[in-house]
A = this chain, B = another copy of it.
Amino acid sequence: MKWVYIEDLEKYPEKKVEIRGWVYNKRSSGKIRFLLIRDGTGILQCTMYSADKDSFLFQEFDRLTQESSLILRGVVKKEKRAPGGYEMSIEEMDIIQIAEEYPITPKEHGIPFLMENRHLWLRSQKQHAILKIRSELIKSIRDFFDNRGFRLMDTPILTPSACEGTTTLFETEYFDQKAYLSQSGQLYNEATAMAFGKVYCFGPTFRAEKSKTRKHLIEFWMVEPEIAFATLADIKELGEDLIIYIIERTLDNRQQELEILERDTGPLEAVKKPFPHITYEEAIQILNENNFKMEFGDDFGAPEEAKLAEIYKMPVCVTHFPAKIKAFYMQPADKRPDLVLGLDILASEGYGEIIGGGQRIHDPELLEKKIAEHKLPQQAYKWYVDLRKFGSVPHSGFGLGVERMLSWLCKVKHIRETIPFPRLLYRIYP
């Protein structure tokens, strides 16, 4: 008999099939027993009928505990009232294992307990829904870039030097020298962009930040496109297109999971291009008109980012930041050398920065000057300067944080729920 996944049941109408899964719930009602079975792809209502309450099948039913594993065979029929829309009439049941008493119950559990049992918590309906949306999100990002002719170019995790300062780096011994875990693939992307025109990298990145917020993970995934010959304006539009594409794909393909999460999709549906676009200096002015006390050179914190998004009720593009609060490689603005062509895109609904990027310096002398000013090791950046000596071109790119984007899509309160095994300050188990 054919082993079938619950999500594929519609292909087997009125057929006898085999389902393999775990007990999600059970209840009795007179001569009927109901089992809710989950197999990882869906939940199926299964029924047993018997005139004899001591029947073998009923005795087996009584033994079943939550998360017990079993194989069921029977005919599956459409049943509007059942969760998922199908129902199986059980003919045979093989119990693989009667589970020990399952620690996660419908009652409220504290977060430390759930985090300690993350390997089991993943099976819960809400976590399951978030991570299904995550896999769709990642696929949609890859499709977006692949369909536009970008080449995936994996950048290294083990690197000899830092992209954005050394205080938040994980260090390891690399044979006879030191290596650091990558915080961004950008510098390497700039090399591959000169070889392939338009590229993206997509991998884990690491920040050893000693801060505990609901928006930070120690280990998170980031996608970073980089385009030779592209300007700030080009990648601003690319970022808008990417965000809109992700939202559309999620709304199209993960409606059921959004419902489980009770996500009001209105604010997502409202996201349209072009996003409101302001400069950093305009943002400062707007914030001050709204009772913030910001001066030129101040960085935005969570309250400032939330306020800007609240005012526009849309994601907001902010550009032209003070050079002194941005990285050394950013291209200065024309006629305003104190500003750089950086780009931040702030999510709506208070989810803060989801895209950060900009146009990179393409003049070799200016880049060398900045490396010296920032007291970076010249030898380690030799190859990076080379990119400006052998056919330098203006180029731009950005990074989008997967878990930040997913937090917003799902409207979850804390980023720890957006990755299977979150790495947080002092949390590395399981």
B206 near A204 (CB under 8 angstroms)?
no
* Contact, CB under 8 Å: B383 / A40: no
Knowing A157-B157, A229-B3, A393-B69 touch, does A188 contact B386 (C-beta < 8 A)?
no
For A394, the chain B residues whose CB sits under 8 A away are 96
A228: interface (CB < 8 Å): yes
Interface residues of A in 373-430 (CB under 8 A from B): 380, 382-384, 386-387, 389-394, 419-421, 423, 425-426, 428-430
CA distance A204 to B97 in the complex (A): 35
Is A419 in contact with B389, judged by CB distance below 8 angstroms? no
Which of A106-114, A117-125, A291-299, A346-354 has 4 or more CB atoms under 8 Å from chain B?
A117-125
Residue of B nearest to A380 (CB): B429
Contact B139 A420 (CB under 8 A): no
Are B191 and A158 in contact (CB-based, < 8 A)?
A: no
Select from chain B the residue with minimum beta-carbon distance to A70: B391
Q: Which residues of B contact A204 (CB under 8 A)?
A: 154, 157, 203-204
Among A128-136, A244-252, A277-285, A311-319, the one that faces the other chain is: A128-136
Contact, CB under 8 Å: A210 / B175: yes
Q: Shortest beta-carbon distance, A405 to chain B, in Å? A: 14
Chain A stretch 23-46: residues in CB contact (< 8 A) with chain B? 23, 39-41
A321 CB–B CB distance under 8 Å: no
The answer to whether A119 touches B160 (Cβ under 8 A) is: no
A58 part of interface (Cβ distance < 8 Å): no
Which of A81-89, A145-153, A327-335 contacts the other chain? A145-153
Q: A424's closest neighbor in chain B, by CB?
A: B175
Within 8 A of B (CB), among A127-179: 127-128, 131-132, 134-135, 138-139, 142, 146, 149, 151-160, 170-177, 179
Query: Is A219 close to B, CB under 8 A?
Result: yes
Q: Assess the A420–B197 pair: CB atoms within 8 A.
A: no
Contacts of A387 in B (CB 8 A): 119
Beta-carbon contact of B421 and A221 below 8 Å: no
Selected from B69, B134, B160, B175, the residue in CB contact (under 8 A) with A429 is B160
Q: Mark A221-237, 1 if CB is under 8 A from B, else 0.
A: 10000001100000000
Tell me which residues across on chain B come within 8 A of A386, comparing CB atoms. Answer: 117, 119-120
Closest to A20 in B: B229
- Pick from B138, B192, B196, B425: contact of A41, CB below 8 A: B196
> In the complex, which residues of chain B have a beta carbon less than 8 angstroms from the beta carbon of A151?
40, 131-132, 135
Q: Are A392 and B96 in contact (CB under 8 A)?
A: yes
Q: Does A102 contact B (CB under 8 A)?
A: yes
Residues of B within 8 A of A41 (CB): 149, 196-197
Give the size of the chain A interface in residues (CB under 8 angstroms).
97
In the complex, whether A7 has a CB less than 8 A from a CB of chain B is: yes
Find residues 190-217 in chain A having any chain B CB closer than 8 Å to their own CB: 191-198, 203-204, 206, 208, 210
CA distance A382 to B117 in the complex (A): 10
Q: A69-B393, A128-B195, A151-B132 are in contact. Are A219 and B380 (CB under 8 A)?
A: no
* In the complex, A8 has a CB within 8 A of chain B: yes
- Please give, as numbers and ranges, the residues of chain B lying within 8 Å of A71 by CB-CB distance: 229
Question: B residues within 8 A CB of A174?
Answer: 170, 218, 428
A343: CB under 8 A from chain B? no
Extra inter-chain contacts (16) besides given A22-B194, A40-B197, CB under 8 Å: A5-B197, A69-B391, A96-B391, A97-B393, A118-B383, A119-B387, A131-B153, A135-B152, A154-B419, A155-B420, A155-B421, A160-B429, A172-B181, A175-B426, A181-B181, A203-B203
Query: Closest 5 A-B residue pairs measured CB to CB?
Result: A40-B197, A383-B430, A69-B391, A119-B191, A122-B195
A contacts, CB < 8 Å to B = 3, 5, 7-8, 20-23, 39-41, 67-69, 71, 96-97, 99-100, 102, 117-120, 122-123, 127-128, 131-132, 134-135, 138-139, 142, 146, 149, 151-160, 170-177, 179, 181, 188, 191-198, 203-204, 206, 208, 210, 218-219, 221, 228-229, 380, 382-384, 386-387, 389-394, 419-421, 423, 425-426, 428-430
